[in-house]
Amino acid sequence: MRALASIQKITNIREIKGADKIEVAEVLGWEVVIRKGEFNIGDLCIYIEVDSIVPPLPQFEFLKERKYRVRTIKLRGQLSQGLCLPLSYLPCFTPCSCDEGYDITEKLGITKYDPEAVKEQRLLDQLNTIKKSRIEKFLLRNKWYRRFFTKEKSKGWPKFIKKTDEERIQKLPWICETEKNTIFTATEKLDGCSVTFALLRIKRWLLKDKFKFIVCSRNIHLSKPDNNSYWTIAKQYNIEQILKKLILSNDEYIILQGEIIGEGIQKNKYEIKGYDFYAFNFIHTYLKLNDFEMRYYLSQQNIKCVPLLSNNFILDSDIHKCIELAKGYSSLNYKTYREGIVVRNYNKDISFKIINPDFLIKYQDEEEN
């Protein structure tokens, strides 16, 4: 589970122009508005990330109107992302629980605000709901029938596929120094739903190899073809046949990952009719492709890739200036803020995301409606 709440050190405190009661603290790479005089530089605090849901307890009553969700906000023109709380909010003190970096997400009962996961669960519930006849209900009482004639509609996540969930740059504040001379590729982060397509080779002795086509949402293996957006895109782009064309003779598997956008997805900010697909990862078992190679091979199959912003992206030494670089409008719709950028170096296998704060402030309330 991702560390949504942890013990962190306040590395800097700055004044906010025109503000008498509040100031801004720096924690990792985040800026957080705090009450003036509540903390000093070097103090340890409980840091709770944005998009965390805190439990409805008296100490979090001030978040009740926001449905107990920690959001990106602006106060007196100052961006604030997360909460800094005194250590006294911990239910109990132990030596290790006050060590810098210690994960206290479960101790505080904090969960992640994740509307995509909620939609995935609804989809999973639909797939696992079967209208059974009276005869079938009777037969289901028998173990032998359940064993041989029932199958799960959704299976566990395939072990050979890595989930796509890059860290935000604020959680990697040292990277601006350690990778200051590294040349990155920067692409637009699209606000849709993540999908993974894969083709797994099944070797058969003395027989021709078989292939298993796999479709996954961000967290769920959708083993049965359906009319949901994931399988619709698979059929619309003929993904299975394309992967069979592109798999190499020595590949054990081939993976295509990307973002689905369109009607009914994240309020369809890009004003797309139907569904559309943009790839961001194309993985062979033993062949490592960079961004240019991915775009070349997929373009031959009429598959689009996420918009390329720069193939010569250099990090600024100031993490807050890096965040400014994520601001701007989407390449797909110039009336819509882009969600941010994804930064990659393929040789070093480094990737992370920089989210556009303007996007968060404008659209975060729409997600709940």
Contact between residue 291 and residue 358 where contact means Cβ atoms under 8 Å apart: no
Would you state the CATH architecture of domain 5-112?
Answer: Beta Barrel (2.40)
- Is the per-residue pLDDT at 314 higher than 90? yes
In the 8-state DSSP scheme, what is residue 9?
E
In the 8-state DSSP scheme, what is residue 55?
-
147 vs 161 pLDDT, higher one: 161
Residue 120's pLDDT band, with cuts at 50, 70 and 90, is low
Q: How confident is the model at residue 116 (pLDDT cuts 50, 70, 90)?
A: confident
Q: Does domain 169-368 have CATH number 3.30.470.30?
A: yes
Record the tokens describing residue 148, joined without a space: 């041989």
Rounded distance between C-alpha atoms, residue 359 and residue 356, angstroms:
5
Query: pTM of this prediction?
Result: 0.85
Least confident stretch, 20-24, 150-154, 252-256, 344-348: 150-154
Mean pLDDT, rounded, for 222-238: 91
Question: What pLDDT sits at residue 208?
Answer: 87
Pick from 230, 248, 252: nearest CA to 239: 230
What is the percentage of the chain residues whose pLDDT exceeds 70?
A: 86
Compute the average pLDDT of residues 21-45. Answer: 95
What is the domain partition of the chain in residue ranges?
Answer: 5-112, 115-149, 169-368
CB 25 within 8 A of CB 67: no
Separation of alpha carbons 166 and 352, rounded Å? 5
- Alpha-carbon distance of 128 to 151, in angstroms, equals 10
Confidence of residue 150 (pLDDT cuts 50, 70, 90): very low
**In the predicted structure, residue 103 carries a pLDDT above the cut 80:** yes
Confidence of residue 154 (pLDDT cuts 50, 70, 90): very low
Per-residue pLDDT band for 309 (boundaries 50, 70, 90) equals very high
Tokens of 164: 């796509």
Amino acid at residue number 206: L
Mean pLDDT of the chain: 88
For the chain, strand residue ranges (E) read: 5-15, 22-27, 30-35, 44-48, 52-53, 72-75, 78-81, 83-85, 111-112, 184-189, 193-204, 207-216, 253-262, 275-284, 308-313, 340-345, 350-355
pLDDT in tens, 349-364: 999 999 999 999 998 7
